[in-house]
A and B are shown apart, each in its own frame.
Chain A
Amino acid sequence: QKEVEQNSGPLSVPEGAIASLNCTYSDRGSQSFFWYRQYSGKSPELIMFIYSNGDKEDGRFTAQLNKASQYVSLLIRDSQPSDSATYLCAAERNNAGNMLTFGGGTRLMVKP
């Protein structure tokens, strides 16, 4: 079992809809979580990070964290075709000092 699990997708949503991306992690000691967006052949780009249980909003993006359930999600409102990419969830490894473990990524396709 990978330490960070994501559904590989593709997740297909129509333009303007809400895209919901999910991630689970196995290390209960992980405290901080990150969402990266990666376009094909490009480097991962940090979208959001979250440390506390609950929701964190930034523009069209909302990250949600539930440490009891070991679950992280990313909601993208008003999805645009330009949001089509692979979204990588990452967890900071416990007691490993700023080391991230990445999930396999979910490919999102937003159809016009």
Chain B
Amino acid sequence: AAGVIQSPRHLIKEKRETATLKCYPIPRHDTVYWYQQGPGQDPQFLISFYEKMQSDKGSIPDRFSAQQFSDYHSELNMSSLELGDSALYFCASSLKGDVLFYGYTFGSGTRLTVV
């Protein structure tokens, strides 16, 4: 079965550079979520999109932005990178509107290292 696809798997950037992370949700899933997970920490919610519109916003820095495109894939753009941005970035998708909510399916993540 198709899963959530994230690219790239690993990314190394220097301070003050920009990075773009991509996420391709499971086909038919209409909601995408972005999470940031630092070492030894639980996933922190950044932002979500439903039907290409931003649906919720968490602890996303102003330096970050995201969008969902017509094909439902999403991109997280990160500018002026700081050392503290080094983390695993997960994308997850779900199908909204089900009577029962079956939770998220996570992608494999992008490991961002800022040097």
Chain A residues engaging chain B, CB cutoff 8 angstroms? 32, 34, 36, 41-46, 49, 51, 88, 90, 92, 96-105
Contacts and interface: CB of A to CB of B under 8 A. Distances in A.
A46 B50 CA distance: 21
Contact of B107 (A32, A43, A99): A43
A97 B90 contact: no
B103 A88 contact: no
Contacts of B108: 42-43
Contacts of B111: 41
Contacts of A34: 103
B54 to A, nearest CB: 13
Contacts of A51: 100
Given A44-B90, A44-B106, A103-B42, A92 B56 contact: no
Nearest to A46: B103
Considering the complex of A and B, which 7 residue pairs feature the smallest CB-CB distances, nearest first? A43-B106, A34-B103, A104-B42, A102-B42, A43-B109, A44-B106, A46-B103
Nearest to B55: A97
B101 A32 contact: yes
Contacts of B102: 46, 49
Given A43-B106, A103-B42, A98 B101 contact: yes
Given A46-B104, A90-B103, A99 B48 contact: yes
A45 B106 contact: yes
Given A42-B108, A43-B90, A98 B96 contact: yes
